Structure 1
């Protein structure tokens, strides 16, 4: 039985990290093997706080070793990494990817380099951002940064579309074959802008920005998960980019209609496989 290994955070209530990623990939017909880097009661944006803990990096290594013991690493089609709670967790992820590639050279590594955003700045523990930039992103087949994370990787400051394209091309030169910029906040107001970059070119999708009482959490994890699932199912990157944006918008629209700021992924699950909107990518370079 083939599967996708997803190494990221987990919340008991709501949808963030693996709690946002696992079900959508399963809904698309894929087996998912989650390993949690942290486990919290809820995501960190609640004013009441949260409870829980970060797991030790050795937990990742132990679980991957267990998968190896039962002969499953060769059946891993893709690895996704998201939020990492420590620098050594990043190294454990790198080791897992290397082990899997040794047994299945066709396995993809998708790195969602969770660091922060322009409003919050860097939100990860000491050493994590450095290992994301210097270790995990260069070895990834696909990276899914936001604008803040793309700048951290490339050193290119972004305030317009031309600079975003320059940053994407530089990112491709640094190792990844596919760059999906999950959010470009500094482009047009009132729309949600995202870019796909491959050696074939760069493409932009702009979709309406929906209104929420607070910004939903876990959207980036949802984007990475659906895009990965699309690739594993055989879609070309541009087709996967289009489907991902349409599906994520459908889930967000469902969420908004319910008056929620926690993603309504289960209620919106049909959008994951049969999106009701279609936002076409536009070539930009």
Structure 2
């Protein structure tokens, strides 16, 4: 399995490609990482060094990969934080180039815009580009609940709201929708849900809430969900497998008291989580 992963990168810690590449490799994937930014650390620390690249840089790197003649062997494109509007355009074009030479390739777009508590943290113009151009071209989209509300213009507070917002995303283009965080009125305070839909059915998986809010967890979820979708072609199976592995990583991180995801320490549980969570029809 070959995945082209176009995301941010941090030298220290785990976010963007730094949260996605190793887990995918540990599961047996070849990963071709292209970085949209190169930072010293994730922005959750409040200060960092490094720079945002531009769309021309992303295109140049893709040109070099294409010159190797390998794009027809690319099974999926995974995209995350894009940094600038011209990078969004470049990533849309990259996904199109892959799918032009491999009709079975999937584009999994994590539409990074913001989160509850932090609000919108991307540059102006990016949410509009994601809504207008990325959603119609993506096969899989993986927003958090805040991003789901931003992309659809809906307040998501109940299961009915969730269903309606997910339906809106399907109508925009993607065949598969994963909502990486679901905190609606029927979710207990000590739990956290994720939900996924294939356009016909909606499934939810519930895991115990852990006392941590860790940067990079959403990037990890998207990568694992994509892998299991490519492997099983089953939305509920991919949802359960991704939730089980992510919970294992988060649990190990909390146990060690680390500020960064304990991906290396928990690597065996990426492959075979000790505790399994099963997705149920919503």
Q: Judge same fold: TM > 0.5, yes or no.
A: yes
Deviation at 1:279, TM superposition (A): 1.5
C-alpha RMSD of matched pairs (Å): 1.1
User: Which residue is 2:76 aligned to?
Assistant: 78
User: Which residue is 1:191 aligned to?
Assistant: 191
User: Which residue is 1:232 aligned to?
Assistant: 230
Matched, 1:14 2:13: yes
Q: Write the distance in 2 (CA, Å) between the matches of 1:6 and 1:271.
A: 22
Runs (4+) of structure 1 moved beyond 6 Å?
A: none
Query: 1:43–1:217: 8 Å Cα contact kept in structure 2?
Result: yes
Q: Write the distance in 1 (CA, Å) between the matches of 2:200 and 2:274.
A: 28
TM normalised by structure 1 equals 0.95
User: Which residue is 2:133 aligned to?
Assistant: 135
Q: Write the distance in 2 (CA, Å) between the matches of 1:192 and 1:261.
A: 20
Deviation at 1:266, TM superposition (A): 0.6
Within a 5 Å distance, the mapping from 1:35-184 to structure 2 comes to: 35-47=34-46, 49-184=47-182
Q: Write the distance in 2 (CA, Å) between the matches of 1:181 and 1:65.
A: 32
Q: Write the distance in 1 (CA, Å) between the matches of 2:30 and 2:37.
A: 21
| Cα deviation 1:103-128 (Å, max 9, x = unaligned) | 00100000000000121111001111
Query: 1:133–1:152: 8 Å Cα contact kept in structure 2?
Result: no
Q: Secondary structure at the match of 1:180?
A: strand
Count of aligned pairs: 280
Q: Write the distance in 2 (CA, Å) between the matches of 1:89 and 1:199.
A: 29
Stretches of structure 1 lacking an aligned partner (at least 5 in a row):
none
Deviation at 1:235, TM superposition (A): 4.1
Deviation at 1:156, TM superposition (A): 1.8
| Cα deviation 1:140-188 (Å, max 9, x = unaligned) | 1000001111112222211112211111122112111110000023442
Q: Secondary structure at the match of 1:207?
A: strand
Q: Write the distance in 2 (CA, Å) between the matches of 1:235 and 1:22.
A: 21
Q: Secondary structure at the match of 1:39?
A: strand
Query: 1:12–1:39: 8 Å Cα contact kept in structure 2?
Result: yes
Q: Write the distance in 2 (CA, Å) between the matches of 1:50 and 1:186.
A: 34
Q: Secondary structure at the match of 1:45?
A: helix
Within a 5 Å distance, the mapping from 1:258-277 to structure 2 comes to: 258-277=256-275
Query: 1:182–1:220: 8 Å Cα contact kept in structure 2?
Result: yes
Query: 2:236–2:280: 8 Å Cα contact kept in structure 1?
Result: no
User: Which residue is 1:209 aligned to?
Assistant: 209
TM normalised by structure 2 equals 0.96
Q: Write the distance in 2 (CA, Å) between the matches of 1:86 and 1:30.
A: 28
Q: Write the distance in 1 (CA, Å) between the matches of 2:233 and 2:15.
A: 25
Q: Write the distance in 2 (CA, Å) between the matches of 1:45 and 1:151.
A: 22
Deviation at 1:200, TM superposition (A): 3.2
User: Which residue is 1:28 aligned to?
Assistant: 27
Q: Write the distance in 2 (CA, Å) between the matches of 1:251 and 1:118.
A: 22
Q: Secondary structure at the match of 1:125?
A: coil
Q: Write the distance in 1 (CA, Å) between the matches of 2:6 and 2:33.
A: 6
